[in-house]
Chains A and B, each alone.
Chain A
Amino acid sequence: MKKMIIAITATTIMMASCKKEEADTVDTTTTSIVLPSTYNFDNVSYNGQTSRLDMLAEMTAELKKANAGTQVDSALLADMFSNTGSPFSDASLNSSGKQLKNKTYSSVGAFNTDYFEYLMKRQGDISQYAGNTWSAGNAGVATSGTSSYFFDENGVEYTQLIEKGLMGAVFYYNIAEVYTRSAKIGAAVDNTTVTPGEGTDMEHHWDEAFGYFGAPIDFSSTNTADARYHAKYSSKGQAVGLKTTDKVMEQFIKGRYGITNKNYDYRDQAASQVRAEYEMILVTTAIHYLNSAKANFADDALRNHALSESYAFVFSLAYNSDKLISNADLDLVKSYYEVTAGPTTIPSFLAITVADINAAIDKLSTVYSLDAVKSSL
């Protein structure tokens, strides 16, 4: 009998040591239920979100004209923002009845609608200098290899602040503060009456959150085709072993599964987890671009571009009231970009030092427990 026990123990140890090399796939809380591997459910619909994603793409294309030396049409940008006067080349967007502006964060405490409208106006005004070469103090285009970027006189690329900023102030804000909160998925929301093609109200709200992510329904770390916006940037954390892509996707699937099967524990777990995992997309991407700014510190074009990207991902952290970072720490990180006074609330990258960049990285990596991977991001 004793021998038998020893035998069993020995075998188990051997097996355990074998298992180590495999990835731990099954979450203990979900062992009884196997979640679908894709976001393939009945009556999924998020056309409005897809329209807004497409609208931002057209706005970004207009903003980037400055990179090629052409002045940007700020009136057109404003019209695109509010979908006024058929501004889009894709006619279906003009008639969609949707717009970005009325879904943009509009209150205090974070950059709001006014801020983005100010940036659009100013991009139009200063891009009259898009034919000039950028130098510190003079707006213009800086080039590195085949990449060209238009910056304001302080080295700030408004295109990134607007595009990545609206990804925060529209997409992330609506996921984190609107569609995963009780007003949209709580007990008072109908989860019985099925509207053909749209599911129940509660299902539809969750689908709208998923629609802002920018992912195809079968998106995963091994199937990244056609991902855009935040879905695309989830690859930064994924690449260093944080499984960011798969975790966000899993939480979206879990929440929809929970709602459809009236498993409200699942829904509630997924609602808070999707916010937390989504936040990791922003912070890993912010650190990624801070590293890039450091790696290209002597290259005006690449450094300013990377700083602009990272700044927008950093300020986007604010659009979630459950964010891990405190407001004080977030202000501190932002302050590293604002070492000299630019125009109100617009940063200046002229005097930033490597020590400033390292301080920003270290603060973020400490708050988000990313010290082990911060230099690989």
Chain B
Amino acid sequence: MKSTKIIFFLSVSLSVLSCKKDKEEVTEEFNKKEMLTNYGNNIIVPAYEELELAISNLENAVSNFVSVSNSANLQTLRNNYLTAYLQWQNCSFMEFGPSENYTLKTICNTYPVDTSLINSNISSGSYVLGSASNTTAIGFPALDFLLFPDSSLSLALATINGNNAANKKQYITDLVQQIKAGVNSTLSSWRGSYLSSFNTSDGNGQGSSLSEIVNAINLDFEKFTRDGKIGIPLGVRSLGTALPEKTESFYSKNSLILFKESILGLKNYFNGTSSSNIGLDDYLNHLNDNNETARLSEKINNQFDLILQKAEVLSDPISIAVTTEQANVQALYDELQKMIVLLKVDMSSALSVLITYQDNDGD
């Protein structure tokens, strides 16, 4: 009898030991599901809800302007347009899952627009906004072009009410409807089955929620923030020749405030800012417990602040600054570049997440 007992205990403890080997020897486990739930419930869904509300206000403003096309209604329309565009900046880095499925970023914010394509769509009155050939004639950038033909409100109103006025207003209406449909589809997928699977998919492999978050942040930051908002207008892809017309919100000249909003939004997102506040920063701190003197989360937060400081220096919209304050824009670009190293190399490796987005496989 005794010997059986001993064998029992031995074998059990042996198998327990061999199980433990696979896990990390951390005293306190980080609750990844809690972090993901914070992102899903308290940050991502509310961000799309706020966008939905802003689009709904924009839709009303369009409808009022179409019925009474006066300068007061145009001003309200422009204000609501800017509010919605600002809120989009807080959603741009969440392009995975439902938003990726509906290509929300392409629908909302593809620029520069092809103004001759927009004009020909308007004059023909015949177009499918969702088709591949119209991706440069839609979204906030197309609204930017149509609502700001002139910075002066009265001159802009005269232009909008001029040639092809009815078709133009129909086009503006259709643009907002397309954005609305994309946001609504995204939100209803999130409210459906996606949220619970997102909150509980707590691995770090391809397709896990952490991998989706980290890849979406990096893709957005590298291609759309560093390159799209700053680098391309500055001329980093054109041998130093500035390309101001490629700036975001070129016609309404809101590029700088949109840029700042996107950096602030991403900083909050990184820190999981909400009622419960558990974000990537906490997860990094947890993994980095032994190295409190040089925490990666602090480096990243400091770099966000540095980027914002460099942006504060600029006095003009980016489209003008790339020629009048070229050195300052370059300094801002350099800080964005440094952030890529922190996010794409240091953060992804600390979190053991593989960067999976690549433009193509070279063939």
Q: Which A residues contact B (CB, under 8 angstroms)?
A: 3-4, 6-7, 10-11, 14-15, 17-18, 21, 136, 144-145, 147, 155, 239-241, 292, 294-298, 300, 302-306, 349-355, 358, 373, 375-376
Contact = CB atoms under 8 A, between A and B. Distances in A.
B114 to A, nearest CB: 9
Contacts of A294: 100-101, 103
B19 A303 contact: no
21 contacts: A6-B8, A7-B5, A7-B11, A10-B12, A14-B11, A14-B16, A18-B15, A145-B359, A147-B359, A292-B360, A295-B100, A298-B106, A302-B360, A303-B132, A350-B132, A351-B132, A353-B131, A354-B102, A354-B103, A358-B101, A375-B100
B98 to A, nearest CB: 10
B34 to A, nearest CB: 23
A375 B4 contact: no
Contacts of A6: 8
Interface residues of B, number: 33
Contacts of A295: 100, 103, 357
B92 interface: no
Contacts, number: 90
B12 A355 contact: no
B192 to A, nearest CB: 14
Contact of A147 (B22, B128, B360): B360
Interface string B98-123: 00111100100010000000000000
Interface in B10-65: 11-12, 15-16, 18-19, 22
B207 interface: yes
Given A295-B357, A305-B360, 13 more contacts: A4-B4, A7-B4, A7-B7, A14-B19, A147-B359, A294-B101, A298-B110, A351-B132, A353-B130, A353-B131, A354-B103, A354-B130, A376-B207
Contact of A376 (B110, B128, B206): B206
B8 A11 contact: yes
The 3 A-B residue pairs with the shortest CB-CB distance, nearest first, are A376-B207, A7-B8, A14-B15
A193 B335 CA distance: 72
A375 B133 contact: no
B93 to A, nearest CB: 15
Contacts of B1: 3
A358 B110 CA distance: 20
Contact of A136 (B4, B11, B19, B133): B133
Contacts of B102: 354
Q: Name which of B18, B102, B110, B131 has the most chain A CB atoms within 10 A of its CB.
A: B131
B4 A3 contact: yes
B89 interface: no
Interface string B349-363: 000000001011010
B19 A11 contact: no
B97 interface: yes
